[in-house]
Amino acid sequence: MTLPTLHDLHRPLGSTGLVVSPLGLGTVKLGRDQGVKYPNGFTIPDDQAARLLLAQARELGINLIDTAPAYGRSEERLGPLLRGQRDQWVIVSKVGEEFDDGQSRFDFSAAHTRASVERSLKRLETECIDLVLVHSNGDDLRILEQEEVYRTLALLKQEGKIRGFGFSGKTAEGGLKALEQGDCAMVTYNLNEQAERPVLDYAAAHGKAILVKKALASGHVCLSPGVDPVKASFELLFAHPGVSSAIVGTINPLHLAHNVATVAQVLRQP
């Protein structure tokens, strides 16, 4: 029996010109195990396990990978792990949040934004990052209106160091504002939280990209008995035409295969 894959279900990432799998692999668990909000503890996988996970993702038709400086060692591990495969992946990283000694700190200045992107290029061993998002601290409108980060990302796009830019925020107002000038918004949208739905509506109407974070509510979704929470979650997401892809961070090969099979089933049902 062949496993379902996503190879024939890739879709445009808004109007960036990039084409992505409807499921992306989040890599926080490749680099950071402190201050993360998962229901169960986990051990950061070694290089061999990480390499096998990435190979499995690729075989299952996933071409989208999500990382960030705030994910501990995730970026610096992905560089060597993806050597020789760069053209097969669409890489999303972030700016704005740093994570040191178990603490997050934020810097949205022009100088930090530029230095952060240059460092990510080095760590990821690439000349261009496909998409860079602002890692918001929740003060979305102030960051977009008063800080230099968004203007700096627009310049880095013009310089060819990034292909697109956008915003990973926490409010509908922030997401809507971010899409006026940016290419993509990363929003929380799941069975428990749908406050950012207006951002999805705007994206669908204006050809912008939406990446969904916490699609499975970080493993916290609870439904009535007999209902598959993963299937119900993906049915909700992909019923909306604005959604480009859902980012799910798993290091469990069985979960990964199950998520892929479920997304394939949801997208193929008449």
CA pair distance 99, 157, nearest whole angstrom? 25
Task: Give the pair of three-digit tokens for residue 194.
Answer: 């749908």
Distance (Å) of CA 215 to CA 48, 49, 127, 203, 229? 27, 24, 30, 17, 11
Contacts of 137 (CB under 8 A, 6+ apart): 96, 97, 104, 106, 143
- pLDDT of residue 245 exceeding 90: yes
Amino acid at 113: T
Domain 11-268 has CATH 3.20.20.100: yes
3-state secondary structure of 45: coil
Model's pTM, two decimal places? 0.95
- The string of pLDDT tens digits covering residues 151-180 is 999 999 999 999 999 999 999 999 999 999
3-state secondary structure of 213: strand
| Domain parsing of the chain, residue ranges | 11-268
Contacts of 125 (CB under 8 A, 6+ apart): 79, 80, 82, 83, 86
Q: Give the pLDDT mean for 60-76.
A: 97
- The string of pLDDT tens digits covering residues 214-236 is 998 856 666 677 788 899 999 99
Asked if 23 and 56 touch (Cβ cutoff 8 Å), the reply is no
- pLDDT of residue 34 exceeding 90: no
pLDDT, residue 206, reads 98
- The string of pLDDT tens digits covering residues 190-211 is 999 999 999 999 999 999 999 9
Distance (Å) of CA 227 to CA 191, 216, 230, 233? 12, 14, 9, 10
